[in-house]
Structure 1
Amino acid sequence: MGGRRSGGSRLPGSFAPGAWRYALLALALAVPLSLLSRLGRCSRRWTLAAPLLAVGALLFHRDPDRTPPDSGVLAPADGRVSVVREEGDRVRVGVFMNVTDVHVNRAPLGGRVDAVDHEPGKHRPAFSKESDRNEKLHVRFADHEVTLIAGAFARRIHPYVGAGDELDRGERLGHISFGSRTDVLLPESVDPGDLTVQRGQKVRAGETVLARLD
């Protein structure tokens, strides 16, 4: 049954779903590490690792609000443009997310989700050419497609939407825990001359315009 979704269960402008679970797991290590340190079986520096990992997990899953511009195809992810290529009569733009980027992905265009399909695959570094064979999650719309791609360390793709959901342009559609690259297969009406970004350019999900629309 279709319907509108709110973009995942979250606190507005805070963290992606599951962030606190990762943080609490890291903090749970603090007690045994502290005991081992007192017994002289591990270095004291390891007792500091647990809270640092917890803070890192929260930073990795931060989810700031964004304000989309009035027009254009929006970037689906924070990061740098790593892929710009033609595939038949379509153009694909991919954004690589490094460890300091926000990993919540957003809809480049509004519309109804036709399907959400999982594609098993490898876990190669997302910046390499081999990443095209990595595990993927395809969020398909009538005229475009967003693909969330796992990387070497990122192995959990979390969709917020399902088939039949209506999304606004710039709305959250999922996130990749500790993950890596998001592609947009642009509508057929978009040609390379309509692109407003190039490889290596820094972009922000839901705010940077990837391409102009007629």
Structure 2
Amino acid sequence: MKDSLLFREAFPIAFALATLSLIFLLLPFKPAKFVGVFFLLALLFLFYFFRNPERTIPTDPHYILAPADGKIVEIKMEETSPFYEGKATKISIFLSIFDVHVNRSPVDGKIIKKEYHKGIFLDARNPKASLLNERQDWWIQSTKGCIVGIRQIAGFIARRLVSWKETGETIKRGERIGMIKFGSRTELFLPSDCIVVVHNGEKVEAGKTVVAKWP
């Protein structure tokens, strides 16, 4: 479905790696050929990184799904939510360079706002990255009547946030909304009465793993 968009994102890097690999492999020097092989391996990893697997989306309407693949590094009750008035449960997911980097919507609803923030590039596992790093915030008006927030955070390696949806669009649970290029962090902000069913250190998959339930 979004393979063409992933190809568009990967193409400039893939073209550069393929060109460099060809140049060095054609040079009549043995050290140059090793460099060419290095760029070829980097090209193969790029194709692996930009994979876009299909997912079987859970059908129970009470489920709230993970917005990203990766490891849960923090579950915290925030006294003040950046997306609405009142408390919120924040679930933070760290994406290594080996995880799928396509982000998906955790709920059914409508995108009512998007906001991009410039910032620095701390290691995405650093809790301060949530406020200091380059990020993009999503406000989703869920079909349950409350707002769910998603924060895409660029990490030390990741330098680009990509979104495929715009304000005003209706989205389904598990639907692809964007990606973050190379190691990063995605945070999910839920109403404080939602029931969290995952724990710190757990591996999750976007659009597949149930991270919470509606009360």
Partner of 2:136: 137
Structure 1 residue 57 corresponds to structure 2 residue 58:
no
The 3 A distance-change label for structure 1 pair 86 and 146 is same
Q: How many residues align?
A: 200
**2:25 touches 2:37 (CA, 8 Å); kept in 1?**
no
* TM-score of the pair, normalised by structure 2: 0.87
Partner of 2:89: 91
* TM-score of the pair, normalised by structure 1: 0.87
Structure 2, unmatched stretches of 5+, are 80-86, 142-146
Identity %: 30
Partner of 1:34: 25
Query: Following TM superposition, by how much is the alpha carbon of 1:17 offset from its aligned partner in structure 2, in angstroms?
Result: 4.2
Residue number among 77, 99, 102 corresponding to 2:68 in the alignment? 77
Deviations 1:116-162 (A, max 9, x none): 11011110111122312111011111311111100001001000111
Partners of 2:7 and 2:90 in 1: CA distance: 26
Structure 1 residue 180 corresponds to structure 2 residue 164:
no
Partners of 2:75 and 2:16 in 1: CA distance: 38
Residue number among 3, 28, 37 corresponding to 1:10 in the alignment? 3
Partners of 2:116 and 2:6 in 1: CA distance: 24
Partners of 2:129 and 2:154 in 1: CA distance: 8
Structure 1: 4+ residue segments shifted above 4 A: 14-17
Structure 1 residue 166 corresponds to structure 2 residue 170:
yes
* RMSD (Å), alpha carbons: 1.8
Partners of 1:20 and 1:101 in 2: CA distance: 19
**1:110 touches 1:167 (CA, 8 Å); kept in 2?**
yes
Residue number among 124, 127, 149 corresponding to 2:125 in the alignment? 127
Deviations 1:70-121 (A, max 9, x none): 2311001111001211112210001101111100000000111011110111
Residue number among 54, 57, 63 corresponding to 1:68 in the alignment? 57
Structure 1, unmatched stretches of 5+, are 1-5
**1:96 touches 1:182 (CA, 8 Å); kept in 2?**
yes
Structure 1 residue 19 corresponds to structure 2 residue 6:
no
**1:16 touches 1:63 (CA, 8 Å); kept in 2?**
no
Query: Following TM superposition, by how much is the alpha carbon of 1:20 offset from its aligned partner in structure 2, in angstroms?
Result: 3.2
Letter aligned with residue 139 of structure 1: W
Query: Following TM superposition, by how much is the alpha carbon of 1:31 offset from its aligned partner in structure 2, in angstroms?
Result: 2.8
**Matched position secondary structure for 1:44:** helix
